[in-house]
Structure 1
């Protein structure tokens, strides 16, 4: 997976701030990636996420850093992590803080982050949403939250994909996942989280997750 996201099609798109860029499934199905939006200032949907962030914020898979930079500009403590050197370089170039690291690697401040963000499809990192959310149990504080962006339809898919630039450039294959709110609710419960809020903005769908109570975990 690290090799895939370091591949030239993704790095080149971030470097120029332009697509086209897709995730290509083995059967040829293509999922467009919104590179131009990722490289612009936060839009109204993004602002709906930023307004719900509590405490220090960890942006998992921060990409070119628009959310981390917006938080930093407000004087908020925020850190982006991404396995793409180009993404990290762009984030730092915006005046934000970022590390070239996987969320599954040791992270600064584990257990003390007030909010972890999984935006722009990043609930799909690693191809196993429950495993990703279990990892965030160790990263986020007990009173903290995860804010995840979901597919705005009912889907629960795990598949192998490659980054595709639409011009013949392909990255290495890696595991990915796509989930709607119903599937996220199930995966969250399996990992010790509860969906406590969901909302739509700008055609995008989001959910906030908080830790299950001790009483609930014992049932």
Structure 2
């Protein structure tokens, strides 16, 4: 345990780096996922097709392959950037597919009469989705979105393996590889770091589920 206590500052920096990555991905994936969910329930066939193809391809593709495509495939076609940018973008693209399905399930939980009533007063599809349907879908969406967020935190470790740097995975690489510290305590510290994020997040999701269950 001396390895952990002697390097608390490094672990703290890694924890902050992981939280930064997760925060950026959470915001971007939520925005992209909501747009994709709108595509999936759109009355316009081409938009539905785009949403369906995106979700089908991304959800059935391993995250590692998605990250490889961004980190090593894009530079081959002239799109260059940092591993941090590629890692955040790749994880966003991957997570957005699951956000989309969570939001779509919430939209499906809203009674169809609500959409019909919105159309009857002259609202467009976009207006009815934004002003009528999504606000009512929030209760059904929060718990599954919380689970998607927890999975995203754990997936950020795979992003770290691509040399993003500054997050918890890179702490293990630094201590175990560059400094020659024993692997077991080094990775035990990394696990503790992820638990510090995931356990409170899981408790919040459970609390939200109980609160929403009572509200219903």
Same-fold call, TM cutoff 0.5: no
Q: Rg bigger for which structure?
A: 2
If the length of structure 1 is used for normalisation, what is the TM-score?
A: 0.22
Q: Which has the higher helix share?
A: 2
If the length of structure 2 is used for normalisation, what is the TM-score?
A: 0.23
Q: Which has the higher strand share?
A: 1
